[in-house]
Chains A and B, each alone.
Chain A
Amino acid sequence: MTPAILVLWFTLQTLSPEAVQHMQAGVAADKQRQFDVAITEFRRVTELEPAFADGFISLGQAYMEKHDFDSAIPSLKQALEINPDSTPAHQLLGYALLVQGYPAQAIPHLERAKEKSAVGIAQIQTGQLPEAVANLQAALAEHPNDPDILYYLGRASGLLSKQSIDTLLAAYPDSARAHEAMGENYFVLRNMPDAESEFREALRLRPDVPEVHLELGEVYAGAFQWAKAEEEFRAQAKLQPGNAEAAYRLGASLLEQGKVHEARAELVRADKLMPDMPETLYSLGKAASLDGDAAAAEKDWSKLLTIEKETPLAAQAHFGLANLYRKQGKTDAAKREMQAFQRLQSSSNPPQAPEKPAPPH
């Protein structure tokens, strides 16, 4: 018998037989999801035993299960009047208040119940964004990859970011940073002409502002203007010789233009600055292959495959190796790599269309 059940058992010993009977009937009905019956039974318990906190908690919980949060709240508050330290009562009341749109009132109860994710969600609603991010990060550490927590953490972070940017735009609208922020907004909205002009203005105001060349380069890369992209990435690499992304981007833009030798040099530099990034390794292998250096390509792609095994990049590396071995006449190795490529490709591909046309929409 667990301690909680022991406590409940001892508690029940203090109740009248009639109250115990209604309590047991309520629990049974609740188990069978007959919430209206359970509510009737638990309400009778609270009438027979008005100092029995668990009766009010059970009643509140039954209401919540019926999604009648408005009715649950008075019962749960009454439970806390009787027993201010009841964790279940704080937990349920916190959730009920949150669902009903009272995040500020919910937060103390949820904090008492140590419901970090719920506290974080409530804090998003009260605008306590840094606190929300902290609580959601802590909750995510306890429940890695929980989709709800991931969603709310992303939302809180985004709102926090927006809050900062809004403040920046309001306080310093003509600053380089404000133009950079506007450029980023336009970029997200795929409004590339305006993104370009905002980034350009940021650079005019402050030519050494970090990252803007990189962002402007991405605008041009997205518009397939590789020569201009190269120019911006090169400027960023000059400003920040230790910036691995600038080196990678510069290398990639050179590769797109078929400037294979130069691309390799920059990609090697990117790999030194931030070793073993899969994207860099793949591009390095590709550049080496295009440059006719099969040994280097094999080395880079093989290294990538020690890091990534089931991803699209891994599939691409297998495909590259298959072609490389095919050209070298290594038939078995080529076949093996092609099979690995096809296996990964088939596992990531959506199913084919049905054999017969589907009925019209």
Chain B
Amino acid sequence: MLSRLSAAAAILAAFAATATIGESLFEAKLPRGIDFILQNSPTPQKHLIETMPGGVALLDYNNDGLLDIFFVNGGRLTSPMPTPENFDRRNPRYWNRLYRQNKDGSFTDVTEQAGLSNAGDGNYGMGVAVGDYDNDGYPDIYITNYGKNILYHNNGDGTFTNVTTKAGVAAGGWSESAGFLDYDNDGKLDLFVTRYMEWDTKHSKDCGGNFHTYCPPEEFPATTSILYHNNGDGTFTDVSQRSGIAVKKGRALGVAFADYDGDGFTDIFVANDGMQQYLYHNNGDGTFTEVALEAGAALSEDGRRMSGMGVVFQDYDNDGRPDIVVTELPREIYSLYHNDGGGSFSYRSLQTGLGVLSSGTSGWSVGLEDFDNDGWKDLFVAQSHVLDNVESIDPSLHYLELPLLAMNRNNRFESADSGAATPLAARGAAFGDLNNDGWEDVLITCLGSHPQVLLNRGGKAHWLVISLRGTRSNRDGYGARVQVNGQTRYATSTVGYLSASDKRLHFGLGTTDKGKVEVVWPSGIHQTLNEVHADQFLEVREPEKQER
């Protein structure tokens, strides 16, 4: 028996197929005007950065009520790489791209006129974060790179200004995901940046012997993530050491924010690759304590380290507490940490059916959104193996994969047709209502090719989309807890892997045509709106003081 057991442990996947239910909610459609191709520039040298981009953001940069799209591009890799490193980012082929949505649903490339075409020749692009760090009412853009990161201030006239030097947020090394949050509830958005490892093109190497593959993360030293405190004058201070964020080194990819213990302060979850995950508990005094192991959110059910890549921190079971989903590599199954309250999590991948859906796949960006507006958040994962030649090493695995759409049915996830026609090398994914029809759409970036836009076909169920307008709190309302008819969302645009979603909060209401909206603002103000009509885009403005 033992021999069989051990032999079986080494068995590899052959053809992971999952049953689908019903017709797809989505229609795969590339809107007119979007011609972006994510240039990751794969090389025979297998520079690790090649397989890691690219971020995408859904934002309304010009406040016209229509979501626009920002794509982060990779860069040109050559062999050998010149010194200093140059990724040819002045070449339009390697520009990041901003597409403005037009009233007819088409898009116009406004990259150059917006002042976003120069991403720095020494920068290979990774991810994007969106937030109004100066509370002027216009979303600003932060771009992470292998190299120096860039903060673009939105001037409010359709243009952006690179303010990185003044702001002091260039970081350096290899940054991955980033996100704006107000960790000290001072009404100004701070910035968290994950960094992957100590790596550079000069010290790159390939692994896998004759197969020549990208190396696993353990081949390179771990590094620290960065927390920048917003000083309120257009500058930031690196508080990584002082806050305790830099106490532990990691191999950080994804990041997500939520107040998991209800103490009024935003906590941070970092998805680490090939090691334990980190949960930074916000102590409320400007410091954090890493508590993932004690909280039960560090490892798999069996105590195994995982290849954490993307992460989402939202409440999937409507118990009012944010849960965590981490995407990983095959044979690890995506981790679902259920928030049990009291600062404790339980591993629930098996009970929720997520294990069966993910044991043979590789996940990157991930979102928990109510795609069918039934009042329960569903799961979407951008999938593709990290190795572009994985089939030659293990025929049972696949580089190109279909995205995972898993519908939440009584807190059990069931596979559904994502609408993607062909398998993809998907990486980033952002979620939002692109066409303002009340139904959540999906935007996926794919290495070496056009993005995929999955437009929700919609249906009859009711919905409510809420925009937060902070007054005492940060203007975006990031960190607010918003409840509608028993559902909870934590306000953030940071999502999954390298990406930023529509900051508006979407709720499916099912057959109910009215909602009770309760907001707990980061300032501590509680706000309740009763008998709110469904099927509308509602702006909720934070009261200047607590209402009675």
Q: Are B344 and A327 in contact (CB under 8 A)?
A: yes
Q: Are B355 and A355 in contact (CB under 8 A)?
A: no
User: Chain A's nearest CB lies how many Å from the CB of B74?
Assistant: 21
Q: Which of B2, B13, B221, B340 lies in contact with A355, CB distance below 8 A?
A: B221
User: Chain A's nearest CB lies how many Å from the CB of B306?
Assistant: 13
Q: Which of A223, A258, A279, A357 lies in contact with B14, CB distance below 8 A?
A: A223
- Give chain B residues whose Cβ lies under 8 Å from the Cβ of A357: 198-200, 203, 220-221
What number of A-B contacts does a CB cutoff of 8 Å give?
131
Q: Which secondary structure characterizes the binding site on chain B? A: loop
The answer to whether B219 has its CB under 8 Å from any CB of chain A is: yes
Contacts beyond the supplied A222-B13, A341-B303: 11 A-B pairs with Cβ under 8 Å: A190-B12, A190-B396, A225-B17, A256-B355, A290-B350, A290-B351, A353-B220, A353-B221, A359-B203, A360-B205, A361-B205
Q: Are A279 and B11 in contact (CB under 8 A)?
A: no
Which chain A residue has the least Cβ–Cβ distance from B347? A323
Q: Report which residue of B204, B222, B351 has the largest number of chain A beta carbons within 10 angstroms of its beta carbon.
A: B351
With A190-B395, A222-B14, A244-B1 known to touch, is A256 a contact of B293 (CB < 8 Å)? no
Q: Which secondary structure characterizes the binding site on chain A? A: helix
With A190-B396, A225-B17, A326-B296 known to touch, is A360 a contact of B202 (CB < 8 Å)? yes
User: Chain B's nearest CB lies how many Å from the CB of A175?
Assistant: 23
Q: Report which residue of A191, A350, A357 has the largest number of chain B beta carbons within 10 angstroms of its beta carbon.
A: A357
Complex interface residues of chain A between 67 and 82 (CB less than 8 A to chain B):
none
- Give chain B residues whose Cβ lies under 8 Å from the Cβ of A320: 302-303
The answer to whether A133 has its CB under 8 Å from any CB of chain B is: no
Q: How far is the CA of A260 from the CA of B352 in the complex (A)?
A: 11
Q: Which of B8, B352, B394 lies in contact with A258, CB distance below 8 A?
A: B352
User: Chain A's nearest CB lies how many Å from the CB of B283?
Assistant: 19
Q: Interface extent on B, as a size class?
A: 35 or more
With A190-B395, A222-B12 known to touch, is A356 a contact of B296 (CB < 8 Å)? no
Q: How far is the CA of A277 from the CA of B3 in the complex (A)?
A: 12
- Give chain A residues whose Cβ lies under 8 Å from the Cβ of B412: 258
With A245-B4, A316-B303 known to touch, is A323 a contact of B16 (CB < 8 Å)? no
The answer to whether B353 has its CB under 8 Å from any CB of chain A is: yes
Q: Are A277 and B293 in contact (CB under 8 A)?
A: no
Q: Report which residue of B206, B301, B303 has the largest number of chain A beta carbons within 10 angstroms of its beta carbon.
A: B303
The answer to whether A54 has its CB under 8 Å from any CB of chain B is: no
Q: How far is the CA of A256 from the CA of B355 in the complex (A)?
A: 7
Q: Are B203 and A192 in contact (CB under 8 A)?
A: no
With A192-B14, A360-B202, A360-B204 known to touch, is A221 a contact of B355 (CB < 8 Å)? no
Complex interface residues of chain A between 292 and 336 (CB less than 8 A to chain B):
315-316, 318-320, 323, 326-327
* 6 closest residue pairs by CB, A with B: A192-B14, A222-B11, A319-B303, A357-B203, A223-B14, A224-B360
User: Chain A's nearest CB lies how many Å from the CB of B105?
Assistant: 39
- Give chain B residues whose Cβ lies under 8 Å from the Cβ of A315: 303
User: Chain A's nearest CB lies how many Å from the CB of B44?
Assistant: 13
